[in-house]
Amino acid sequence: MNVPPSTVARLPRYMRALEDLAERGEQQTSSGELAELVGVQAAQLRRDLSYLGSHGVRGVGYDVQNLLSQVMGALGLTHDRAVVIVGLGNLGHALANYVQAYVVDGGPGFRVAALVDADPAVIGTEVAGLVVEDAAHLEDVVAREGATIAVLATPRDVAQEVCDRLVAAGVRGILSFAPRALQVPEGVDVRSVDLASELQILAFHDRRRP
Amino acid sequence: MNVPPSTVARLPRYMRALEDLAERGEQQTSSGELAELVGVQAAQLRRDLSYLGSHGVRGVGYDVQNLLSQVMGALGLTHDRAVVIVGLGNLGHALANYVQAYVVDGGPGFRVAALVDADPAVIGTEVAGLVVEDAAHLEDVVAREGATIAVLATPRDVAQEVCDRLVAAGVRGILSFAPRALQVPEGVDVRSVDLASELQILAFHDRRRP
DNA sequence: TTCTGTGAACACGTTCACAGCC
DNA sequence: GGCTGTGAACGTGTTCACAGAA
């Protein structure tokens, strides 16, 4: 069951749409309806789902709950993963609260296991219900919690170093907000969110304007 | 000069690497060096740059300052665009500060023109050096500032409505943090950052783990 | 019939490999 | 010789269009 990356990237959107349908009490749906909700072509949605196996009924459609289970299973949301958030400046602080409120409490799959920062003024303070720990003990924290996923919200100049330490400690997936290309070994997955880049891409499309 | 979307998405990274080189006093670079810094293949970088026109010298490489100008020009960073930030909850507040500190002050192209929220407790407060305005006047604010780009950090359930109003008021590019597919007319560009999705994608790659 | 699942066609993006120019 | 710019090959992703199951 090999799922192409571009399909994987769409699975969370399908999941969200299915959750919405389930909440509305819908029991059955179709590739057309679901595709419309998500904003993709129906054929693409069917192709994507086919990588997870065949779970629809021809002439009828898909069972919402069953398909939701399939998608969540494919994403590996069957048990909670420990997430460590490193860097609790302005952005990291907000991210910690956001992840706690909208990701952890919004469904299964994740648990904010620990918060880590290097600033003595921040260490020991409470954020999102957790006490911020010292970055000097980063490896211990990752090992203690068995964390495999990290959110990186440190300043740009220490991002690579922190990244290296996270990987060495056993982290396999990093969501980085530092505007910098991170080098990681084979098998480690980095997803990068760069606000300046996003705005610049928007500027490109708007560039004909005065 | 038609630039493919995937190339556009990489231009900000090239720009950042070129800025780093310029800061280090490097005057000349090569596709190999630049590609290594950015984390892409040298051939891809040369192909990408070729869409902007030929600005390198065969056998020598690229002039850092000149190439930087070309890339910035292509991205439309020749003048400042007004950005409106809508929604100043936890995340929006941090984004406003971040954009002000790391995007606006980090280079040309953008100006945080206004902050808008619907919560009476937030309206009138000062964030990132600006006073938060009433969302009831959203259209007036966009028109007054001539804003073409917006950052959307509202709750999920009002995101589409706010999006519609932004577009009607003249916004052409939206950076959304709301976990929802936004419907926009032709010619309007939406880029979506969804933290839950990003973590779920990381979970997928880590799904073989216990 | 209706709607899925999928082979086949197509479009897009990336990489190779080398001609062309310094 | 060295490095760019780019045709051509390749690989990936998307869409078409229809056979097949309920």
Q: What is the pLDDT of residues A144-186, one digit of tens each?
A: 999 999 999 999 999 999 999 999 999 999 999 999 999 999 9
pLDDT tens per residue, range B164-189? 999 999 999 999 999 999 999 999 99
**In the predicted model, is pLDDT for residue B57 greater than 70?**
yes
Minimum distance, in Å, between the CA of residue B85 and any CA atom of chain A: 12
How far does the CA of residue A134 sit from the closest CA of chain B (Å)? 22
| Percentage of chain B exceeding pLDDT 70 | 99
Nearest-angstrom CA–CA distance, B116 and B122: 9
Which residues of chain A lie closer than 8 angstroms to B202, CB-CB?
149, 172-175, 189, 191
Q: Which residues of A touch B39 (CB under 8 A)?
A: 181, 183
Q: How confident is the model at residue A55 (pLDDT cuts 50, 70, 90)?
A: confident
Give the per-residue pLDDT at B208.
76
Burial of B118 (0-12, 13-18, 19+ CB in 10 A): middle
Are the beta carbons of B54 and B20 closer than 8 angstroms? Answer: no
pLDDT at B210: 64
Query: Each residue of A115-153: pLDDT tens digit?
Result: 999 999 999 999 999 999 999 999 999 999 999 999 999
Mutate to test the interface with A, among B199, B207, B209 (most CBs of A within 10 A): B199
- Test B102 with A207 for CB contact under 8 angstroms: no
The pLDDT of residue A1 is above 90: no
Mean pLDDT of A192-197: 98
Q: What is the DSSP track for B62-95? A: EEHHHHHHHHHHHHTTTSPEEEEEE--SHHHHHH
Q: Tell me what pLDDT residue A207 has.
A: 86
Burial-class residue B60 by CB neighbours within 10 Å (0-12, 13-18, 19+): exposed
Task: Name which of B1, B111, B186, B205 to mutate to probe chain A: the one with the most chain A Cβ atoms within 10 A of its Cβ.
Answer: B205
Facing A193 at nearest CB: one of B93, B189, B193: B193
**Start-end of H helices in chain A:** 5-23, 31-38, 42-51, 64-75, 90-98, 138-145, 159-169, 195-205
Work out the pLDDT band at A208, boundaries 50, 70, 90: confident
Does residue A68 carry a pLDDT above 70?
A: yes
Nucleotides of C under 7 A from a protein CB: 1-7, 12-17, 20-22
Round to whole Å and give the CA distance between B16 and A17.
36
Phi, psi of A134 (to 5 degrees): -75, 130
Given a contact cutoff of 8 angstroms between Cβ atoms, the answer to whether B64 and B70 are in contact is no
CB atoms within 10 A of CB B43: 10
Phi, psi dihedral angles at A144 (to 5 degrees): -55, -45
pLDDT above 70 for B54 = yes
**Closest alpha carbon to B81 in A72, A161, A199:** A199
Task: Write out which nucleotides of chain D lie closer than 7 A to a protein Cβ.
Answer: 1-7, 12-17, 20-22
Mean pLDDT of chain A: 97
Radius of gyration in angstroms for the set of CA atoms belonging to chain A, rounded to a whole number:
20
With an 8 Å Cβ cutoff, are A179 and B16 in contact?
A: yes
The Å distance, CA of A4 to C1' of C5, is 17
The minimal CB distance from A200 to the residues B75, B94, B199 is found for B75
Query: How far from each other are the two terminal CA atoms of chain B, in whole angstroms?
Result: 50
* Token pair 């069917």: residue: A46
Note the pLDDT of residue A210.
Answer: 63
Percent of chain A exceeding pLDDT 70 equals: 99
Determine if the pTM surpasses 0.75.
yes
pLDDT band at residue A32 using 50, 70 and 90 as cut-offs = very high
